[in-house]
Amino acid sequence: MDWKRYLFIALIIIALFSVVIFVGKTQTPPLVIAMSMLATTLMVATPLTLGALSGVFCETSAVINIGIEGMMLAAAFFGWLAAIYMNTIFGYEPMPSLITGVVVAVLTGGIFGLLLAVLSITFKVDQIIGGTVVNMLAIGITGFLNRQLFFEKNSVFGGQVPHAPGTLPIIHLPVPKVVGGVCSLFTADGCPTFANALGKVFDQRPIAILAIVLVFVSHYVIFHTRWGLRTRAVGEHPRAADTVGINVTRVRYINVVIGGLLAGLGGAYFTLESVPSFEPLMTNGRGFIALAAMIFGNWTPIGSWAAALVFGAAQAMQINLQFFRDLIPPAWSFLQQSYIVGLTPYLLTMLILTGIVGKTVPPAADGQPYEK
Amino acid sequence: MSAEKRIVLQAKGITKRFPGVLANNKVNFDLREGEIHVLLGENGAGKSTLMNILYGLYQQDEGEIFIDGQPVRIQDPTDAIHHGVGMVHQHFMLVPVFTVAENIMLGAERLHQGSQGREPERPWWKRGFFNGLQNLERLERKQVSARIRAISRQYGLEVDPDAIVGDLPVGVQQRVEILKALYRQANILILDEPTAVLTPQEAEDLFRIMRDLTARGVSIIFITHKLKEVLAVADRITVMRAGEVVGHTTPQESDEQQLAAMMVGREVILQVEKADANPGEVVLEVNDLRVNDSRDLPAVDGVSFSVRAGEVLGVAGVQGNGQTELAEAVTGLRKAVGGAIRLAGHDILNKPPRPITEIGMAHIPEDRQRHGLVLSYTVADNLILCDYYKPPFSQRGVLQNQAIDENARRLIESYDVRTPSPYVPAGKLSGGNQQKVIVARELSRNIKLLVASQPTRGLDVGSIEYIHKEIIAMRDRGIAVLLISAELDEILALSDRIAVMYRGQIVAVVNNGQLTREQLGLLMAGSPPAEVGLSL
């Protein structure tokens, strides 16, 4: 990733933040708005980040994954199902139920990843079609089971949506204390406004924090380990990898399953961290936006994350503008229409994919089955 | 010969069948310590199959392989590497976006620690989680680079371990391939047509490196179909034809003519016979042409030349010096950014291919499978690709099968295309016959100019002979020929005048015979004309 791309990303994020700060500045201090925007951005970027990482692992080994959307949707459903099963049917506490839910979601993603791997690596099905199969299957299964389990009288849940075990709790990282401590070395009061505002940014739930950790773990794995070197070789020039004794099929299988597991964790965000419920089609195109983030991020973990934050910021703008609805000046009244603001992530996707900041380069063998 | 050296590698009775083809039939081959053993044969003679068996990419159906006298089973490249066999492939097995060091360590990341890179014989799912975790160890780039520097010093193979491979010249990339094998402690090196991509000077360098290596005890199998090279470097020669070994010889006992006859199985005329040219009026005139490549960088940078009726202008140059873009601009496949091109008095700069074709241009493209043929179409359909929209092949927008069929049968007959029927997909034919389909289509029309790009690349001696004859026949009929070839021998054999292209410019245009091979080689490698002894 070149610096121009990061600069572009930074500019868009600043622009999106500025809109909200501009609207709300009469009511709330800009610092507080900025920090609250940052907190929301990091939160809502979570499934995009994880989806993009899923794409990075698959495509670095040259398997195109357009099934991220489906993997996340299926994981969201089965993770949630596992959590309420544990909670209502088996009677476990909410916390172990939720953790089980996350594990099941991750495994669901892995199974769908395995399906994509079997289709595209073993049976050499066109990878776009393979990914579409995953998406359609996920929509079908989740829609059908959702209906059968929760809206049929004679199902285990007796025809109604049971009480959910809630969502994963916020982890309060001790950032305000640390910042306050450092700050008090220089000022008398320890600048509580800044420390508290900053602290809010780090008040995140576990999957959001894990996603950011995984960005850097993925970067390390792909660029600094033996596995990463082999994976990139398989994605760039599989035959070269084969001639030095690397099992191309095996490397691709493992990477696609890793991709599935990551998408599964992204799916868990929807039903176990963001909201305590499931709705059909609730991923709402996030898997495809994640794919755009991966492309804009030049198939690298850190680049993809930066791009995911752009989309996150767009969504954060939509969310935060709602608080300041009445303050929007009449000239900007179109911003009051939340569905117009809600278009921003999708418009940004199109804008970014037109390649206005230069084209990115996919792995050379991306999308091609390997024939000996 | 003095005392016979020890045999390091021996293949006995190797047989390999592919569906419908007997690729290797009871082949025997041996390699002695510190020798260069040339394996000579045409495309499809089974050389590469044999080497791929020795390197573990294929398994033989019958026969045995011995290394240092021990019978071995080579099931995959890892086995071959383990037994000290290294291979430099014709198409480099290098990842262009990786550094030299990354390419060399790939697959042997822990080699410097003393292990030979062979993991225990267990299927991967039984290797256990902790074994898998070794994959997450940090790459030791520094140590690997240091070791590469040491090896390159030891063998005189200059290369910077931290350079990106894609930025390196082809000759250096080849050194990286050789280093890759040496890094894995190979003492048997297979070089598969290594000179196909090199300039004459780079080839000389390679031969020097090969002799250095053999002096240090490395044994080399050298695969080629270029006869001059064989005589220059070989200690022993084995000739293969149609999957069988047809003879052994040494450079002292044979000459080019004899080797060619062994290779093809009949007498071959190596020299193209041609009378002096009889040039007429100018057919193609190119003036200050400028063309950019796919990355929008200048590829052809102010080129001017003309080709007369009845002469062959050969454009010599190492691949990637703008010849491809030049041919594409002249044939209308690529937009030029400036200059002028006139064909028989018409301005054809940036015109689409169809009007240019209609004026009388024939094009034998560089990449026959991508630009010359529609591989999934039948031979008959491929033969009308230039004229399908005109009568007699098309009447009021409907294709006329009878005319197409007659055309196909006539051309297949007169151009000797070996195909079971006109209705076989072109992709099923051999390379030589595919090229004949293109030649038949292009030359059977009423043309004024023939642009032939690498017309014999990858073809067997017989097909090369045929296509060379056709090109000279066209010239003698008064057609202007622009020949673009990376094979200096081909340029010398066919051209009346030679233009040397280097970095997008024509550095010299000379009459054939005015300069020696060596002088042309120097020009192709970028020496200024004055230094070569040419006053312009």
| Predicted confidence (pLDDT) per residue in B476-525, tens digit | 999 999 999 988 889 999 999 999 999 999 999 999 988 888 888 888 88
Say whether residue B395 is in contact with chain A using an 8 A CB cutoff: no
Considering only CB atoms, B107 lies closest to which of A221, A225, A245, namely A245
Q: What is the DSSP string of B404-446?
A: HHHHHHHHHHHTT---S-TTSBGGGS-HHHHHHHHHHHHHTS-
User: Mean per-residue pLDDT for B242-247?
Assistant: 90
What's the pLDDT tens digit per position in B86-98? 999 888 899 999 9
Residue of chain A nearest B76, judged by CA positions = A245
Distances (CA, A) of A317 to A16, A283, A336, B175, B470: 6, 19, 12, 55, 71
Determine whether the interchain pair B124/A250 forms a contact, defined as Cβ–Cβ distance below 8 Å: yes
How many other CB atoms are there within 10 angstroms of residue A338's CB atom? 13
Minimal C-alpha gap between B179 and chain A (Å):
13
Say whether residue B102 is in contact with chain A using an 8 A CB cutoff: yes
Report the Cα B502 to chain-centroid distance in Å.
19
**Alpha carbon distance B189, B213 (integer Å):** 9
Q: pLDDT-based confidence at B130, cuts 50/70/90?
A: low
**Which carries the bigger pLDDT value, residue B378 or residue A174?**
B378
User: Mean per-residue pLDDT for A15-27?
Assistant: 90
Query: CA Rg, chain A, in Å?
Result: 22
Percent of chain B with pLDDT over 70: 94
Q: pLDDT-based confidence at B2, cuts 50/70/90?
A: very low
Determine whether the interchain pair A236/B95 forms a contact, defined as Cβ–Cβ distance below 8 Å: yes
Say whether residue B94 is in contact with chain A using an 8 A CB cutoff: yes
Determine whether the interchain pair B98/A224 forms a contact, defined as Cβ–Cβ distance below 8 Å: no
Ordered by start, the domain boundaries in chain B are: 7-84+187-268, 97-115+131-185, 282-369+447-532
**Alpha carbon distance B293, B123 (integer Å):** 47
Interface-testing mutation among A244, A246, A251, A360, with chain B (most B C-beta atoms within 10 A): A244
In this predicted structure, what is the pLDDT of residue B19?
A: 78
Q: What residues form DSSP beta bridges with B501?
A: B506
3-class SS letters over B28-64: EEEEECCCEEEEEECCCCCHHHHHHHHCCCCCCCEEE
Say whether residue B119 is in contact with chain A using an 8 A CB cutoff: no
**Which carries the bigger pLDDT value, residue B123 or residue A40?**
A40
Determine whether the interchain pair B81/A227 forms a contact, defined as Cβ–Cβ distance below 8 Å: no
User: Mean per-residue pLDDT for B453-480?
Assistant: 88
Determine whether the interchain pair B95/A230 forms a contact, defined as Cβ–Cβ distance below 8 Å: no
Q: Which residues of chain B does A242 touch, with a Cβ-Cβ cutoff of 8 Å?
A: 57, 77
Residue A124 has what DSSP assignment? -
Q: pLDDT-based confidence at A301, cuts 50/70/90?
A: very high
In this predicted structure, what is the pLDDT of residue A236?
A: 96
Report the Cα B471 to chain-centroid distance in Å.
20
Minimal C-alpha gap between A17 and chain B (Å):
36
User: Mean per-residue pLDDT for B436-456?
Assistant: 93
How many other CB atoms are there within 10 angstroms of residue A236's CB atom? 22
Q: Which residues of chain A does B110 touch, with a Cβ-Cβ cutoff of 8 Å?
A: 226
Determine whether the interchain pair A225/B107 forms a contact, defined as Cβ–Cβ distance below 8 Å: no
Residue of chain A nearest B139, judged by CA positions = A225
Say whether residue B135 is in contact with chain A using an 8 A CB cutoff: yes
Q: pLDDT-based confidence at B535, cuts 50/70/90?
A: low
- Interface subset of B 160-199, CB within 8 angstroms of A: 180
**Which carries the bigger pLDDT value, residue B123 or residue B170?**
B170
Interface-testing mutation among A60, A222, A237, with chain B (most B C-beta atoms within 10 A): A237
Determine whether the interchain pair B106/A242 forms a contact, defined as Cβ–Cβ distance below 8 Å: no
Q: What is the DSSP string of A180-204?
A: HHHHHTTSSS--HHHHHHHHHHTEE
Determine whether the interchain pair A225/B76 forms a contact, defined as Cβ–Cβ distance below 8 Å: no
User: Mean per-residue pLDDT for B327-347?
Assistant: 94
In this predicted structure, what is the pLDDT of residue B131?
A: 65
Q: Which residues of chain A does B93 touch, with a Cβ-Cβ cutoff of 8 Å?
A: 237, 239-240, 243-244
Question: What domains are there in chain A, each with its CATH number?
Answer: 3-150+192-353 (1.10.3470)
Residue of chain B nearest A243, judged by CA positions = B77
Average pLDDT score, chain B: 88
Considering only CB atoms, A233 lies closest to which of B81, B106, B180, namely B106
In this predicted structure, what is the pLDDT of residue A78?
A: 97
Determine whether the interchain pair A226/B109 forms a contact, defined as Cβ–Cβ distance below 8 Å: yes
What's the pLDDT tens digit per position in B135-155? 888 898 999 999 999 999 988
Determine whether the interchain pair A245/B95 forms a contact, defined as Cβ–Cβ distance below 8 Å: no
What's the pLDDT tens digit per position in A33-87? 999 999 999 999 999 999 999 999 999 999 999 999 999 999 999 999 999 999 9
Q: Which residues of chain B does A250 touch, with a Cβ-Cβ cutoff of 8 Å?
A: 124
What's the pLDDT tens digit per position in A187-243? 777 777 788 888 888 889 999 999 999 999 999 999 999 999 999 999 999 999 999
Could you tell me which of A227, A287, A264 has the C-alpha nearest to residue A115? Answer: A264
The answer for residues whose C-beta is within 8 angstroms of residue B265's C-beta and 6 or more apart is B241, B242, B246
**Alpha carbon distance B354, B150 (integer Å):** 57
Residue of chain A nearest B123, judged by CA positions = A250
Overall CATH class of domain B7-84+187-268:
alpha beta
In this predicted structure, what is the pLDDT of residue A1?
A: 59
The answer for residues whose C-beta is within 8 angstroms of residue B502's C-beta and 6 or more apart is B317, B318, B321, B523, B524, B525, B526
Say whether residue B107 is in contact with chain A using an 8 A CB cutoff: yes
In this predicted structure, what is the pLDDT of residue B1?
A: 44
Residue A359 confidence (pLDDT) above 50 = yes
Q: Which residues of chain A does B124 touch, with a Cβ-Cβ cutoff of 8 Å?
A: 247, 250
Residue B114 confidence (pLDDT) above 50 = no
- Element holding B508 (H helix, E strand): strand B505-511
Interface-testing mutation among A226, A236, A242, A361, with chain B (most B C-beta atoms within 10 A): A226
Could you tell me which of B466, B461, B30 has the C-alpha nearest to residue B221? Answer: B30
Minimal C-alpha gap between A253 and chain B (Å):
12
Say whether residue B93 is in contact with chain A using an 8 A CB cutoff: yes
What's the pLDDT tens digit per position in A249-266? 999 999 999 999 999 999
Average pLDDT score, chain A: 91
Q: For chains A and B, what is the number of CB pairs under 8 angstroms?
A: 75
Amino acid (1-letter code) at residue B523: L
Residue of chain B nearest A372, judged by CA positions = B57
The answer for residues whose C-beta is within 8 angstroms of residue A330's C-beta and 6 or more apart is none
Report the Cα A366 to chain-centroid distance in Å.
22
Considering only CB atoms, B137 lies closest to which of A226, A246, A364, namely A226
Q: pLDDT-based confidence at A344, cuts 50/70/90?
A: confident
Determine whether the interchain pair B89/A243 forms a contact, defined as Cβ–Cβ distance below 8 Å: yes
Say whether residue B130 is in contact with chain A using an 8 A CB cutoff: no
Determine whether the interchain pair A239/B97 forms a contact, defined as Cβ–Cβ distance below 8 Å: no
Could you tell me which of B354, B417, B416, B418 has the C-alpha nearest to residue B388? Answer: B354
Considering only CB atoms, A226 lies closest to which of B57, B93, B139, namely B139
Residue A366 confidence (pLDDT) above 80 = yes
Amino acid (1-letter code) at residue B224: T
Could you tell me which of A39, A287, A261 has the C-alpha nearest to residue A139? Answer: A287
The answer for residues whose C-beta is within 8 angstroms of residue A93's C-beta and 6 or more apart is A87
Residue B412 confidence (pLDDT) above 50 = yes
Residue of chain B nearest A227, judged by CA positions = B135
Q: pLDDT-based confidence at A293, cuts 50/70/90?
A: very high
Residue B116 confidence (pLDDT) above 70 = no
**Which carries the bigger pLDDT value, residue A183 or residue B70?**
B70
**Alpha carbon distance B225, A67 (integer Å):** 48
The phi, psi pair for A239, rounded to 5°, reads -65, -40
The region, left, alpha or beta by phi > 0 then psi within -120 to 50, assigned to residue B478 is left
**Alpha carbon distance B52, A267 (integer Å):** 46
User: Mean per-residue pLDDT for A18-32?
Assistant: 90
Determine whether the interchain pair B106/A229 forms a contact, defined as Cβ–Cβ distance below 8 Å: yes
Determine whether the interchain pair A240/B105 forms a contact, defined as Cβ–Cβ distance below 8 Å: no
Whether the Cβ atoms of residue B157 and residue B179 lie closer than 8 Å to each other: yes
The CATH number of the domain covering residues in B282-369+447-532: 3.40.50.300
Residue of chain A nearest B136, judged by CA positions = A225
Detail the DSSP E strand segments found in B296-440: 298-308, 312-316, 336-343, 346-347, 361-364, 394-395, 398-399
Determine whether the interchain pair A236/B98 forms a contact, defined as Cβ–Cβ distance below 8 Å: yes
How many other CB atoms are there within 10 angstroms of residue A263's CB atom? 40
Check for a shared fold between B7-84+187-268 and B282-369+447-532: yes
Minimal C-alpha gap between B295 and chain A (Å):
11
Determine whether the interchain pair B98/A232 forms a contact, defined as Cβ–Cβ distance below 8 Å: yes
* B279 prior amide bond cis, ω within 30: no
What's the pLDDT tens digit per position in A4-18? 889 989 999 999 999
Q: pLDDT-based confidence at B167, cuts 50/70/90?
A: confident
The answer for residues whose C-beta is within 8 angstroms of residue B361's C-beta and 6 or more apart is B330, B331, B343, B348, B447, B448, B449, B451
Distances (CA, A) of B379 to A341, B409, B451, B466: 58, 10, 22, 19
Say whether residue B111 is in contact with chain A using an 8 A CB cutoff: no
Minimal C-alpha gap between A152 and chain B (Å):
42
Q: Which residues of chain A does B97 touch, with a Cβ-Cβ cutoff of 8 Å?
A: 236, 364
User: Mean per-residue pLDDT for B255-276?
Assistant: 81
Minimal C-alpha gap between A254 and chain B (Å):
11
Q: Which residues of chain B does A231 touch, with a Cβ-Cβ cutoff of 8 Å?
A: none
Residue A211 has what DSSP assignment? H
